A and B are shown apart, each in its own frame.
Chain A
Amino acid sequence: MAHQLAIGSRRGLRPALPLLLPAYLWLTVAIFLPLSAMAFFSFMTDLPLAGKEWSFTLGNYAAFFSQSVYSTLLIASLRLGLEVTLWCVVIGYPAAYVLAKVLKGRSREAIFLLVILPFWSNGLVRIFSWAMVLREGGILDTALNAVLPFKINIDLMYSYPAVIIGLVHSYVPYMVLTCYLTLQAIDDSLIEAGRSLGASRRQVLWRVIIPLSMPGLIAGAALIFVPVVGSFMEPRILGGRTGTFYGTVIEDQFVAVFNWPLGAALSFILLAVVLIILALAAPVLRRAA
C-alpha cells in the first residue's frame, strides 16, 4: 500500500519536473545565492574587502541582545507593520468590495486603474509627492486653509502619521487586489441565498462574505506586514527624526556605516521574528479561513 502510494506520487512528480526547473533555477540564483552570501557575512567581523582582516564571530547577533535599542526599534517596527496592515484592511477591503460587487463594466475598469496606478509609479516619486502634500505650507495645508474660515496649521511632515500615510498608500493596492480576487469568486447567489434566509445586508457581510474572503485578507496582510516591518524609505523621507525604525537602522549599516555584517545579522533576526509570528498566526488564521 505504502509502496503503491510512493510510486503514485513519484509518477505524479516526474512529468512536472521540467516545468518546475526554471522556477527553481531562478529561486536559486535570485534568492538562495544572495541570501547565503548574507548569511555568511553575518558571521564575520568585517567585510573581506580591500585586504581587511576578518574572522568568524557571533558578535553581530550578540549585539542585538546586548543593546536594547535594537529590540526597542524592532518592536516599534512590528507595531508599525500591524498599524499599516490594519489601515490597509480598513481602506482596501471596502474598496475591493465595491469593485467586485457593486461596480460593473466601464466604471469598474476605471476605478481599478486608479487603484493600481500607485503600483506603477516610482516609489520615490510617490513618497516625495506625499512630502509636498503633507508639509507646512504644502498642498493639504493650503487647501484646508482656503476652505476653512479659521486658520489652522497642518504640518504632518516628519511625523509618525506621515509615515503611516505614505506606507498605507504604497501597500494598499496589495490588499485591494488580493481581496478583489477572493470577493469576485463569491457567487452572487450566495449573497441572495443569505438574504432570502432572513439575514440583513450586515449579517450577510459578517457571516458569509467576510469568512469567504478570509484567504484574500490573509494573503494581503502577509504581503503587507512583512515588507512594512523592514521598510526604510518611507520612514526616512516622511518621518525625519521620528522615522527611525528597525529597517532604517539596517539600511544605515549597509549604506552609511558600512557595517555589512551587523546589517546582515539584524536582517536575519528580523526574518526569524517575522517567520515566528507567521507560524504562530497560521493555525488561528487557518481556522478563520
Chain B
Amino acid sequence: MAGVQVANVSRSFGAHKALDNVSIDFPDGGFYALLGPSGSGKTTLLRQIAGFDFPDSGRIAIGGESVERVPVEKRRIGMVFQNYALFPNMSVADNVAFGLSVRGEPKAAIATEVQRALDLVQLGKLGGRKPHQLSGGQRQRVALARAIVTKPRVLLLDEPLGALDKALRVDMQIELKRIQREIGITTIFVTHDQEEALTMSDRIGILRDGRLVQEGPPEEIYDRPQSEFAATFLGDANIFRGDATGSGIKLSDGTTIAASTGASVPAGAKASCAVRPERIRISTGAATAGAGNANVLAGWVSKRIFAGNNSTYFVERDGQTLKVIVQNTGAERLAEGQPVVLSWSPDSTVLIAA
C-alpha cells in the first residue's frame, strides 16, 4: 500500500493545457475523489498516474519512489475503466485471473484468489459467465474484482458508476466504499457527480481547466470554499459580490453582509460572499437582526419547487435571485409572490477574495 504524490505536473495536447501545474498528495489508504466539469483533466491526470501517458513536466511518485521510468505493468496499480474494459472473449473468472496468470502464479493459487475476489464483490457464483451475459452493475463489480485481485498499491477508478442508474449507483457506492475499507487501498476516484464525491471520499480535489482549484476534506470544501467556482460546483450557493469591509462585504445598494469565515480580504478590495441555501431562514414576519441572525434581506417568492422532504424557494431581491432550501416540516407553505424576509448567520457566510 502506498500514497501517491503528484508534484507540479503539466501535460499539453498541442496548445491545449490539459493539466497545468497540478500538485496533489493522495494519502496512503485514503479515498480521494477527483471532481471537475467535463474536459477539466480528470482522466488525463489518472492516465499520468497509471502510466498510459506521460507528463511534459513535473513528478509523480507512488509509495515515495518516482515512477517516471516505470512502465504501466510495473507500477502495480489497479484500474477500473469507465466502460469496464472486460475481455469479451474470457469468462468472468478468466478476466479476474488475468493479472495473476500473466505473473505466472500456480493455477491452484489463482483459482482460490479469484474465488475470494469474486466473493468479495458478491459474484461468487457467476465465474463461468461471459461479460456480455452480465448486467451493468455486475460488470462493474467484475472490473473491480479484476483490479483488486492483484493486490495493487493504488486503485484508480475513472467514473466507474457513470453508466449506472441512480438506485444501482447508490448500492455500488456503498459496496465500493465497503470493499475499499476492507482492503484499505489508496483509491483515486474520478467523478463529476458532486454528491458521489461528498458521500464517498475522505478528500476531494476540484479540477477546472487543468488546474487544481481547491482540495481538502469534503466538509472543509463545502463549508469554506475558496472560490466562487468551488462554492457553486460542490453544492449550491448564493453568491453576493461587493466591496470588502473587513468583517464582510458591502453591496452596491449599501446593504452589508457580515461574514465570519473564509479568506481575509483587505477593506475596499473586491470580494464575494457565499451562503448555502439550507443555511438561510425564510419568514413572512419582520425579522430583526439578532446575534445569530446578523444578515437580513427582504424580497419576494418568485417560485417554489417541491422535492418531497424539502422545498426550494426562489426569492427575488434587487435584481438577484436567491435560493433557499427549507425542510418540509408540515408548517405553512409560502405562496409565490409573497413578500418574505431572509436571515442567516455570519458563521454561515464565507468570504471569498475576488
Chain A interface (Cβ < 8 Å from any Cβ of B):
187, 189-190, 192-200, 203, 207-208, 211-212
Contact = CB atoms under 8 A, between A and B. Distances in A.
Q: What 7 A-B pairs have minimum CB-CB distances, sorted nearest first?
A: A197-B99, A189-B85, A193-B85, A196-B79, A199-B102, A195-B72, A189-B81
Given A207-B98, A212-B89, A197 B150 contact: yes
Given A192-B52, A211-B89, A198 B83 contact: no
A198 B102 contact: yes
A200 B102 CA distance: 8
A280 to B, nearest CB: 23
Nearest to A196: B79
A216 B83 CA distance: 24
Give the interface residue-count category, chain B. 20 to 34
A145 B86 CA distance: 54
A196 B50 contact: yes
B88 A212 contact: yes
Interface in B144-196: 146-147, 150, 156
Contacts, number: 63
A66 to B, nearest CB: 48
Nearest to B149: A197
B62 to A, nearest CB: 13
Contacts of B50: 192, 196
Interface string B39-62: 000000000001010000000000
Contacts of A195: 52, 71-73
B77 interface: yes
A198 B89 contact: no
Nearest to B79: A196
Contact of B102 (A187, A190, A192, A197): A197
23 contacts: A187-B85, A189-B81, A189-B83, A190-B87, A192-B52, A192-B72, A192-B85, A193-B146, A195-B52, A196-B79, A196-B147, A196-B156, A197-B98, A197-B102, A197-B146, A197-B147, A198-B76, A198-B103, A203-B102, A207-B98, A207-B102, A208-B87, A212-B87
B89 A192 contact: no
B81 A192 contact: yes
Contacts of B83: 187, 189
A86 to B, nearest CB: 23
Interface in B75-112: 76-79, 81, 83, 85-89, 98-99, 102-103
B98 A190 contact: no
Nearest to B156: A196
A190 B85 contact: yes
Contacts of A198: 73-74, 76, 99, 102-103, 150
B89 A193 contact: no
B342 to A, nearest CB: 49
Given A194-B98, A195-B71, A200-B73, 6 more contacts: A190-B85, A192-B52, A195-B52, A197-B98, A197-B99, A207-B98
Given A190-B85, A208-B87, A199 B79 contact: no
Given A199-B102, A203-B102, A193 B79 contact: yes
Nearest to A206: B102
A64 B103 CA distance: 55
Contacts of B146: 193, 197
Nearest to A194: B98
A203 B72 CA distance: 13
Nearest to B96: A197
Nearest to A195: B72
Nearest to A191: B85
A212 to B, nearest CB: 6
A195 B147 CA distance: 11
Contacts of B156: 196
Interface string B102-130: 11000000000000000000000000000
A207 B94 CA distance: 11
A31 B85 CA distance: 44
A16 to B, nearest CB: 25
A164 B79 CA distance: 46
A214 to B, nearest CB: 8
Nearest to A200: B73
A193 B81 contact: yes
A184 to B, nearest CB: 15
Contacts of A187: 83, 85
Contacts of B74: 198
